[in-house]
């Protein structure tokens, strides 16, 4: 129930006049009592001047009331005078609290506007809801990577939901053939030949598209912490979204292969698979769901044979060197950054040979459906 508004609140001057009349005091007499100008008393009585803390103290001392009594009368009067319908303010605050409007505007996903209705209309369209009280469907479907009961599932943050919907909008606009699991498996074989030379990564988007997989890169939003996502459009067209928030060759291949495994196993059909902090989570299998364990194992094995890696670690540790890493990577037919990435995870030594973790952003973003990192895709008008 809304707060009741008084029909009318009187200026403190009217209360003062009643007090003076009750005592038979004139305005001049009262002014002398409180040692203030007669004009001040007159202007307060006529509603032309408000109550200051100093005035309130004088009134309270002379009339046997507290200073707070007169201050409260003044505040109540001015609040009543300036009272207006605050529902538009509450509505704007609710929108800002529920949706990252500032980030959406900065990224060009919605247009800036001082008209609340225009902003609301854009939010409804962007998040595909009928009202701001309706929770976006992808947010409801999203599941955590960590195992646990339904009550232990973590909700996505508004910033994560926004990133997810941008991936969806771009993916839905793409024209791709029907998805073929067989073709995707064959594409994986071809991708293995791309692991040695970072420049070969540029072929990945087209390869996935030929398999019917919609591959999208959306620059990370502040604090989103999303590495990748897998979901299906209309339950038959898979989507893989990546953020490239860690711009390294090992992270690119690990996240991509991780999401491809989800697609091959048809994960994400009933619930969107949102993967965040994969680097840390991959080394904590006891906290992962079975689907995530499977995807992590496939991703790690794709980067480098785990058996060969364990043999390498056992034969070299702790005397690792750049030369030995290069020789091992050459023998395995992969870029040394993939070896380093897996070494760091296994040894939990993320300082090892960091210069070998080369950047891939400038290779992949120009050839993929990319929003951000200097690339701008159109949004709905």
Q: Can you tell me the mean pLDDT for 200-205?
A: 97
Are residues 244 and 256 part of one domain? yes
- pLDDT-based confidence at residue 86 (cuts at 50, 70, 90): low
Token duo for residue 53: 């803390």
| Whole-number percent of the chain with pLDDT over 70 | 90
Tell me the H-state helices in the chain: 12-23, 27-34, 38-45, 53-63, 67-81, 87-98, 101-106, 116-127, 137-141, 158-173, 181-192, 204-210, 249-264, 278-281, 290-303, 306-316, 322-332, 336-347, 361-364
CA dihedral 328, 334, 340, 345 (to 10 degrees): -110
Query: Is the residue at 376 inside a domain?
Result: no
The two beta strands, 226-233 and 273-276, are antiparallel
Query: For residue 260, is it within any domain?
Result: yes
**Assigned domain for 173 exists:** yes
Among residues 227, 253, 276, which one has the least CA distance to residue 336?
253
**pLDDT tens digits, residue range 290-312?**
888 999 999 999 999 999 999 99
| 64 and 76 inside one domain | yes
By mean pLDDT, which of 32-36, 85-89, 203-207, 260-264 is the weakest? 85-89
Q: Is residue 189 included in any domain, yes or no?
A: yes
What is the structure's pLDDT at 374?
Answer: 92
Model confidence at 5: pLDDT above 60: no
Report d(CA 176, CA 211) in Å as an integer: 8
Residue 157 pLDDT > 70:
yes
Find all residues with CB under 8 Å of 248, minimum gap 6, and list them. 337, 341, 357, 358, 359, 360
CA 271 to chain CA mean position, Å: 19
Q: Are residues 105 and 250 located together in one domain of the fold?
A: no
**Distance from chain centroid for Cα 108:** 15
As beta bridge partners, residue 216 has: 241, 369
Three-state secondary structure call for residue 179: coil
Lowest mean pLDDT segment, chosen from 8-12, 84-88, 147-151 = 147-151
- Does 283 score more than 70 pLDDT? no
Same structural domain, 169 and 226: yes
Give 6 or 51, the one with higher predicted confidence.
51
> Based on the domain organization, do 161 and 253 belong to the same domain?
yes
CA 254 to chain centre: 23
Indicate whether 2 belongs to any domain.
no
Are 299 and 312 found together in one domain?
no
- Specify whether 34 is located in the same domain as 93: no
Give the C-alpha separation, 235 to 231, whole Å.
8
Whole-number pLDDT of residue 1 = 40
Per-residue confidence (pLDDT) for residue 149, from 0 to 100: 40
Highest-confidence segment of 71-75, 98-102, 162-166? 162-166
The two three-digit tokens of residue 293, written as one number: 């364990």
Residue 241 above 90 pLDDT? yes
Residue listed under structure tokens 């991703």: 299
Instruction: Answer whether residue 2 shows pLDDT above 70.
Output: no
Q: Tens of pLDDT along 88-137? A: 777 788 888 889 999 999 999 999 998 888 999 999 999 999 988 888 98
Task: Tell me which residue of 291, 257, 256, 287 sits closest to 273, measured CA to CA.
Answer: 291
End-to-end CA distance of the chain: 38
- The answer to the question of residue 141 being in a domain is no
- What mean pLDDT comes out for the span 15-36? 91
Does some domain include residue 235? yes
What angle is formed at CA 199 by the lines to CA 345 and CA 275, rounded to 5 degrees? 40
pLDDT > 90 fraction of the chain, expressed in percent and rounded: 66
The pTM assigned to this predicted structure is: 0.78
**Residue 4 — pLDDT band, cuts 50, 70, 90?**
low
Asked if residue 152 has pLDDT above 60, the reply is: no
**What is the predicted pLDDT for the residue at 6?**
53
Distance CA 258, CA 296 (A): 6
Q: Which two tokens stand for residue 322?
A: 């750049």
Question: Is 183 among the domain residues?
Answer: yes
Strands 226-233 and 214-218: unpaired
Residues 266 and 365 in one domain: yes
Q: Does residue 107 sit in the same domain as residue 175?
A: no
**How sure is the predictor about 334, in pLDDT bands with cuts at 50, 70 and 90?**
very high
Residues 199 and 287 reside in one and the same domain: yes
How high is the pLDDT of residue 259?
97
| Model pLDDT for residues 42-69, shown as the tens digit of each residue | 999 998 888 999 999 999 999 999 999 9
Same domain, 116 and 186: no
47 touches 11 (CB < 8 A)? yes
Rounded to an integer, what distance in angstroms lies between the CA atom of residue 344 and that of residue 339? 9
* Overall number of domains in the chain: 4
Same domain, 125 and 252: no
Please report the pLDDT score of residue 143 as a whole number: 53
Structural domain harbouring 41:
12-81
Q: Do the bridges between strand 214-218 and strand 369-371 make them parallel or antiparallel, or are there none, so unpaired?
A: parallel
Cβ partners under 8 Å of residue 350, min gap 6: 344
Please give the average per-residue pLDDT across 246-259, as a whole number. Answer: 96
How far is it, in rounded angstroms, from Cα 295 to Cα 259? 7
**By mean pLDDT, which of 18-32, 90-104, 183-197 is the weakest?**
90-104
Peptide bond into 300 cis (omega under 30): no
């Amino acid at each position: 129930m809304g707060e009741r508004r008084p029909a009318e609140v009187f200026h403190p001057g009217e209360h003062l006049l009643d007090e003076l009349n009750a005592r038979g005091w004139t305005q001049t007499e009262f002014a002398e009592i409180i040692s203030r100008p007669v004009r001040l008393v007159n202007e307060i009585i006529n509603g032309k001047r408000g109550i200051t803390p100093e005035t309130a103290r004088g009134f309270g001392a002379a009339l046997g009331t507290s200073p707070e009594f007169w201050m409260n009368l003044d505040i109540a009067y001015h609040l009543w005078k300036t009272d207006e319908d605050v529902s538009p303010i509450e509505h704007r605050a609710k929108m800002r609290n529920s949706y990252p409007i500032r980030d959406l505007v900065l990224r060009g996903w919605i247009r800036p506007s001082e008209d609340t209705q225009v902003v609301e209309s854009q939010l409804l369209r962007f998040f595909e809801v009928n009202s701001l009280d309706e929770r976006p469907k992808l947010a409801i479907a999203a599941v955590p990577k960590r195992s646990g009961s339904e009550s232990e599932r973590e909700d996505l943050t508004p910033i994560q939901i926004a990133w997810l919907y941008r991936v969806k909008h771009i993916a839905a606009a793409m024209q791709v053939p029907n998805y073929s699991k067989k073709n995707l498996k064959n594409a994986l074989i071809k991708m293995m030949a791309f692991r040695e030379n970072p420049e070969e990564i540029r072929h990945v988007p087209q390869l996935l598209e030929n398999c019917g997989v919609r591959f999208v890169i959306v620059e990370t939003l502040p604090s989103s912490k999303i590495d990748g996502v897998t979901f299906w459009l209309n339950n038959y067209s898979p989507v893989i979204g990546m953020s490239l928030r860690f711009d390294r060759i090992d992270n690119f291949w690990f996240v991509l292969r991780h999401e491809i495994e989800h697609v091959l196993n048809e994960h994400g059909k009933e619930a969107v698979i949102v993967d965040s902090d994969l680097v840390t989570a991959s080394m904590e299998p006891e906290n992962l769901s079975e689907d995530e364990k499977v995807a992590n194992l496939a991703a790690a094995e794709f980067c480098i044979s785990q058996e060969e890696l364990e043999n390498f670690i056992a034969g070299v540790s702790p005397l690792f060197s750049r030369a030995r890493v290069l020789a091992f990577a050459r023998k395995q037919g992969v870029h040394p950054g993939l070896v380093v990435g897996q070494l760091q995870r296994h040894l939990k030594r993320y300082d090892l040979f960091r210069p070998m973790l080369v950047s891939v952003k400038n290779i992949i973003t120009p050839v993929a459906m990319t929003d951000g990192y200097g690339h701008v895709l159109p949004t709905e008008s």
